Amino acid sequence: MPTTTPAGRRQAAMQLPPLRDGDAQAIDAFLDSAWAERGLARQTLDSYRRDLAMLARWRNGAAGGLAAMDRQGLHEYLAWRTRAGYSPRSNDRLLSVLRAFFGHLLQRGLRSDDPTALIERPRQGRLLPRALTESQVDALLAAPDPATPEGLRDKAMLELVYACGLRVSELVALPANAVNLRQGVLRVTGKGGKERLVPLGEEAQHWLERYLREALPALAGGRRVPAGPGGEVPMFIGPRLVAPTRQAFWNTVKQHAAAAGIDPARVTPHGMRHSFATHLLNRGADLRALQMLLGHSSLSTTQIYTLVAREKLKQLHARHHPRA
């Protein structure tokens, strides 16, 4: 039977042998090329590394290792992942990484064929984004206690995520100089290092101003906030004067969801972004404008939110129409 839990998948991965040096070098060369030629974000490169390293560990140097994988070997690996409980969506993402990796080898004359060429993408249903209702968002945003520095920080972060539709990685990486309070806009660096300007809105701007004026000095305690890895001072800080991690903010969202009476299992940081997009579209926002606000490179990515709006209309029709 498949091991469908995250813990089960981690256990299956931990049972694999260590990564061999030759495979590690091949992965490093590919990632260096992907960073230089495509400008991929660090999180994307880290994800690519994990996927390729796991395949290489499963292969364990057999028949030339990772760079020499054939189609049959890839089929066997995908079957192993399926038995271990990895979803079709996860395997589809893996195939995208493998196509890029073997395309890199082909381009440099290190292979004469692409073993992924005839592998079909796994069939999967189209998952609609899980969004909160507007009343649930109101309850979640009201949960932090702004009378404390930590509560005021959490309040500002939640307001900002919902007002600007930020990815959690964009939120925790925000530098202190990303906001222009006079113009009421936020400069966001998204995937691939692409920048976009997003309006703050009056409510988010109010809480951000309060955080910067009241909570930030209290959290810093008179100490100088050091610059982060990118050389910029973080906007949001914790007790150690560093930006919160994505996992830390995830826990923050769960904590305040529980306090607001919302099932924490239904609330994620990315769900706040989905709520932002869905609520805007339900209130008549233009799809192209929504694409710009979300930082999507393709309109087709944004169009999934039209399915959410359509589903809501169907539910309203079923609930209220006499012949539904």
pLDDT tens digit string along 33-83?
988 888 777 888 899 999 999 999 998 877 778 999 898 889 899 888 888
Task: Determine which one of 20, 130, 187, 270 is catalytic.
Answer: 270
Mean pLDDT, range 155-179, rounded to an integer: 91
Whether the pLDDT of residue 268 is over 90: the answer is no
Domain segments of the chain as ranges: 6-107, 134-320
Q: What beta strand segments (E) does the chain contain?
A: 179-180, 185-189, 195-199
More confident: 286 or 324: 286
Of the candidates 180, 197, 186, the residue with the CA atom closest to the CA atom of residue 289 = 197
Of the candidates 109, 143, 129, the residue with the CA atom closest to the CA atom of residue 257 = 143
Q: Which pLDDT score, from 0 to 100, does residue 308 have?
A: 57
SS3 195: strand
Q: Which pLDDT score, from 0 to 100, does residue 269 have?
A: 83
Q: What beta strand segments (E) does 127-267 contain?
A: 179-180, 185-189, 195-199
**Is residue 296 flagged as an active site residue?**
yes
Angle at 188 between CA 145 and CA 152, to 5 degrees: 10
Task: Determine which one of 49, 71, 296, 312 is catalytic.
Answer: 296
Least confident of 8-22, 176-190, 221-235: 8-22
Amino acid identity, residue 122? P
* Exposed e or buried b per residue across 154-168, where buried means at least 16 C-beta atoms within 10 angstroms of its C-beta: bbbbbbbbbbbbbbb
Of the candidates 308, 310, 313, 281, the residue with the CA atom closest to the CA atom of residue 294 = 281
- 6-107 has CATH 1.10.150 classification: yes
Q: What is the C-alpha to C-alpha distance for residues 288 and 153, in angstroms, rounded to an integer?
A: 32
Q: Which pLDDT score, from 0 to 100, does residue 317 have?
A: 53
Whether the pLDDT of residue 207 is over 80: the answer is yes
**Is residue 320 flagged as an active site residue?**
no
Q: Which pLDDT score, from 0 to 100, does residue 311 have?
A: 54
Q: Which pLDDT score, from 0 to 100, does residue 55 have?
A: 92
Q: Which pLDDT score, from 0 to 100, does residue 1 have?
A: 36
Task: Determine which one of 167, 256, 274, 279 is catalytic.
Answer: 167
pLDDT band at 10, cuts 50/70/90? low
Mean pLDDT, the chain, whole residue set: 84
Q: DSSP assignment of 276-297, as one string?
A: HHHHHHHTT--HHHHHHHHT-S
Task: Determine which one of 57, 155, 256, 273 is catalytic.
Answer: 273
Q: Which pLDDT score, from 0 to 100, does residue 315 have?
A: 61
Q: Which pLDDT score, from 0 to 100, does residue 2 have?
A: 42
Considering only the C-alpha atoms of the chain, give the largest distance between any 2 of them, rounded to a whole number of Å: 68
Task: Determine which one of 191, 196, 210, 254 is catalytic.
Answer: 191
Q: Which pLDDT score, from 0 to 100, does residue 213 have?
A: 94
Instruction: Please list, in sequence order, all residues whose beta carbon lies within 8 angstroms of the beta carbon of residue 116, skipping any fewer than 6 positions away.
Output: 71, 74, 95, 98, 99, 102
CATH class name, domain 134-320:
mainly alpha
Number of C-alpha atoms within 13 angstroms, CB side, residue 174? 27
SS3 324: coil
**Is residue 167 flagged as an active site residue?**
yes
More confident: 214 or 133: 214
Tokens 């001072």 — which residue?
233
Q: Tell me if the pTM is above 0.95.
A: no
Task: Determine which one of 48, 86, 162, 305 is catalytic.
Answer: 305
Q: Which pLDDT score, from 0 to 100, does residue 3 have?
A: 45
**Is residue 71 flagged as an active site residue?**
no
